[in-house]
Chain A
Amino acid sequence: MHIPDGFIDVPTSAAFVGLSAIGVGAALKGARTQLDDKTAPLAGLTAVFIFAVQMLNFPVVAGTSGHLIGAALAAVLVGPWAATLALTVVLLMQAFLFADGGLTALGLSVFNMSIISVWVGYAVFLVIKKILPKNKSSVAVAASIAAAVSVPAAAFGFWIQYVIGATGTFSDSAVFTSMIGIHVLIGIGEAIITGLTVSAVLASRSDLVFGWKNNQKALEIKNV
């Protein structure tokens, strides 16, 4: 999911830097109202958690393995504002320190993973949670479905960027089918891990899970 330099043309990349800046700016405001001066340490440690958990390998079959992306997981655990900030910082550090993802493509990646993926995932989570009965396993199921949707949602964001400013020669429709197809599969894995992880946290420290707090006000989805 890390977009290299030169994959999407410069005007499109620049436009998405702007969009991402608006989204992250809104998240900074939102996180401050939600977490106050706890924002920096908690979002920071969430970023560390996401970064670390992405290195935890889940074996699939015969030597292949996958790892968590964590957008929906973070949104459910610490709330969408802090999740956006944490994922953005992870992407920034990956690009600047590990050369993972192009520096000029940062706006594109941040838009897909810290904004679309987190917020689509969180919206799905809220909807599913509303439908299901109010108990802990519903929260885990809702988180799981949110994760399943959040991964192809990020791929969809990439597809939009590809359509607008591609430098490659794959046709738009081919990219759509292959990208969405692959990411629906990845999403299934993400869903299982997210559901299991959320239920593990719920079992021992349910008070930490943002999506479980019985505070209706905190669960409102606000227009950014």
Chain B
Amino acid sequence: MGERLYLHRHSIVHETASYLKVVAAIAFILVAVSTPISNWQAFIGYFIWVLIVAAIAKIPFTLLFKRALIEIPFIFFAILMPFFGSGERFVAGPFNLYREGLIAGAGIVVKGTLGVLTAIILSTSTTAREILRGLERLRLPALMVQIASFMLRYVNVVNDEMERMKVARDSRGFEATGLKHWRVLATAAGALFIRSYERGERVHLSMLSRGYEGVLPHDEVEKSKASDWLMVLIYPLVALVILLITTLIGN
């Protein structure tokens, strides 16, 4: 799963320590979501900056936008906002819209998109395993890290298992068209659970036989230098500068 999302390139973004990238991504999103939408110039700056960083990371824009399609469901929610609301109304073409709803809806789309693009740059420039190591360094409990690494390790195996069940159903002429087929699909889900659980038990036993006692072996981690921090924090800092400049100009 993680391997399919990761795009191998040589760039400064790829080479930065993953925990620093996670911190930078979250800090940038926090700056963006804290900016009032009335300060629209700032958001133009943010978008340009995100695209510059994506270019530095050598991520093709087509890939960036294709993966950003995941946000479509909540865009729908935001699009409804100008139509249902209260307060001042105005007419735009055939529509009678609420001004406040329009502004709030636009804010949600813009901020959500910035968050999505940032997360995509993170997961495209960092392997899933590295993100996990980053989260571990940021004090995600060790047990959570272990659970997540099991998930990463077995997600393709279990997905393939599900795919094989689908092939088996298809080859027997099964086609799910409506409610009456839910029993078959639910039985498949049940079988998938049993197979996953049994795999978990086997994995556990094989871990025990290799001396597992509840913790995974750990390699030493390198300490980051102040210059590493400075370099990666440029990501949120530029956003902060954009915010300050546009606020000053706005006043």
Contact = CB atoms under 8 A, between A and B. Distances in A.
Interface residues of B, number: 92
A196 B34 CA distance: 45
A196 B120 CA distance: 36
A32 B143 contact: yes
A44 B149 contact: yes
Given A167-B108, A171-B86, A200-B189, A99 B29 contact: no
Nearest to B177: A59
Contact of A60 (B2, B179, B200): B179
B150 A45 contact: yes
Contacts of A97: 1-2, 5, 123, 128, 131
Interface in B137-156: 141, 143-144, 146-155
Most-contacted residue by chain A among B5, B71, B186, B187 (CB, 10 A): B186
Contacts of B110: 6
B236 interface: no
A41 B177 contact: no
A6 to B, nearest CB: 3
B196 to A, nearest CB: 4
B151 A47 contact: yes
A192 to B, nearest CB: 6
A223 to B, nearest CB: 21
Interface class of chain A by DSSP: helix
Interface class of chain B by DSSP: helix
Indicate the size class of the contact surface on chain A. 35 or more
A41 B107 contact: no
Nearest to B110: A6
A43 B85 contact: no
A10 B33 contact: yes
A121 B215 CA distance: 31
B29 A104 contact: yes
Contact of A170 (B84, B116, B120, B178): B84
Contacts of B185: 56, 58, 193
B181 interface: yes
Contact of A24 (B34, B84, B144): B144
Interface string B1-41: 11001000000000000000010011001101110000000
B164 interface: no
Given A40-B143, A99-B68, A103-B25, A193 B186 contact: yes
A61 interface: yes
Contacts of A32: 143
Interface in A176-221: 192-193, 196-201, 203-205, 208
Contacts of B153: 44
A43 B111 CA distance: 33
Most-contacted residue by chain B among A56, A60, A86 (CB, 10 A): A56
Instruction: List the 7 closest A-B pairs by CB distance, nearest first.
Output: A44-B150, A6-B111, A5-B115, A200-B190, A196-B186, A4-B112, A45-B200
Interface of A: 2-7, 9-10, 24-25, 28, 31-32, 36-49, 51-53, 55-61, 68, 77-78, 85-86, 88-90, 92-93, 95-100, 102-105, 167-171, 174, 192-193, 196-201, 203-205, 208
Given A61-B178, A89-B148, 11 more contacts: A5-B32, A5-B33, A7-B74, A24-B144, A41-B207, A45-B196, A52-B159, A59-B179, A92-B135, A104-B30, A193-B182
